[in-house]
Amino acid sequence: MLREWKTEWMKLRRRKAGLLILAFLGFTFVWCAWVVSDADLQDLADGYRWILSNLSIINTILLPTMLAMLASRLCDMEIKGNTLKLICTMEEKGRLFDMKVLTGGVYLVFYVGAELLLLVLGGTLMGFGDPIESKHILYFLLQNIPVSLVIYLLQVMLSFRFENQIIPLAAGLFGSFIGLFSWFFPDSSLFRWIFVWGHYSLLHFIGNTWDEATRIVTYYDVGPNWAALGLVTALLVSGYLACRYLFIRKEV
C-alpha cells in the first residue's frame, strides 16, 4: 500500500496539482477579502457566521470546477501515456483507483483545512466578535468534504472515461452552475436533492433573516440537515463502490 502511495506521488511530479489548489485557495481568499472589505461593525460582530455563510456559496461555485481540474490532473496522465496496461501488470486496478481517490482526498482535505485556517487567521486580524465555534468547524467539514468527495469520484470516472478532458471539465463547470442555482431553492425543493452539486446548499448550517426596515441581516445557526448528510454518505459509499467496480471491470 505504502509503495503504491509513494509511486502515486512520484507520478505527480511537475503536474502542478498543488499549484492548482493554491490558486483556488488564493482566489477564495481574495473573494472573501473583498466581501470583508465591505463589512460594517454589525457584520464584524458576528463575523464567523457571516463569512462561513459566504464561504459556503463560494465553495459551491469553485469546488466543482477545482475538483474537475484536480481529477483531470491526476487521471489524464494515465490515459495520455497509455500507462494503464503497464501499471496494471504491477499494481491491482482496484488499488490504483484507491490511490487516485486517496490522493485527491488529501488535496481536498488540505484545501478545506487551509480555508478554515485562513478564516481563523483573518477573523483574528479583522477582530471578529466571538471566536469560531468548534461545531461550526465540524459542520463546515461535514458540508464540504463528503459532497466534494462524491463530486471528485464522478470526475475521476469521467477523466478516465474520456481521452478529451474538455468533457470532464465541462461537467465541472456545469456542476458549479447547478450548485449556484440550487441556492435559490428551499431545502424542500427537489432540485437541491437530485443534483449532488446542490448538496452543498442542503448541508448549509447557517441561516439568516433580513430586516427590510433596518436593512440588517441577522445570522443564526441551523442544525445540520441529517437526512441530507445521510444521503450524501450513502452516495459516497455507493458511489465509491460502483466507481471502483466499473474501473476494475474496464479492460485496458
Residues that bind other proteins (CB under 8 A): 3-4, 6-7, 10-11, 13-15, 77, 80-92, 251-252
Q: Which three cell numbers stand for residue 32?
A: 472573501
Q: Which helix (H) or strand (E) holds 174?
A: helix 166-182
Q: Give the nearest distance from C-beta 182 to other proteins in angstroms.
A: 36
Decide whether 66 or 74 has the Cβ nearer to other proteins.
74
**Considering the complex, what minimum distance in angstroms separates the CB of residue 92 from other proteins?**
7
Q: Are 154 and 171 within 8 A, CB to CB?
A: yes
- Residue (95 or 161) nearer to other proteins, CB: 95
Q: Please identify, using beta-carbon distances, which residue of 79 and 114 lies nearer to other proteins.
A: 79
Q: Which is nearer to other proteins, 30 or 252 (CB)?
A: 252
CA nearest 5: which of 110, 104, 81?
Answer: 104
Contact (CB, 8 A) for 138 and 195: no
Instruction: Identify which of residues 1 and 213 has a Cβ nearer to other proteins in the complex.
Output: 1
Show the CA angle centred on residue 166, arms to residues 160 and 94, nearest 5°: 10
Ranges assigned E (strand) in the chain: 206-211, 216-221
155: closest CA among 232, 95, 251, 74? 74
Cβ proximity to other proteins, 215 vs 249, nearer residue: 249
User: 146, exposed or middle or buried, with CB in 10 Å at 0-12, 13-18, 19+?
Assistant: buried
Minimum gap (Å) between residue 156 Cβ and other proteins? 18
Least CB distance to other proteins at residue 159 (A): 15
Judged by DSSP in three states, 206 sits in strand
Asked whether 181 and 57 are in contact (CB, 8 A), the reply is no
Q: Report, in Å, the least distance between residue 121 CB and other proteins.
A: 34
Q: 102 or 118, CB closer to other proteins?
A: 102
CA 47/CA 42 separation, integer angstroms: 8
Q: Residue 209 pairs with which residues in a beta bridge?
A: 218
Give least dist CB 101 to other proteins, A.
18
For the CB of residue 138, give the shortest distance to other proteins in the complex, in Å: 38
Which residues make Cβ contacts (< 8 Å) with residue 33, sequence separation at least 6? 122
Owner of C-alpha cell 457566521: 49
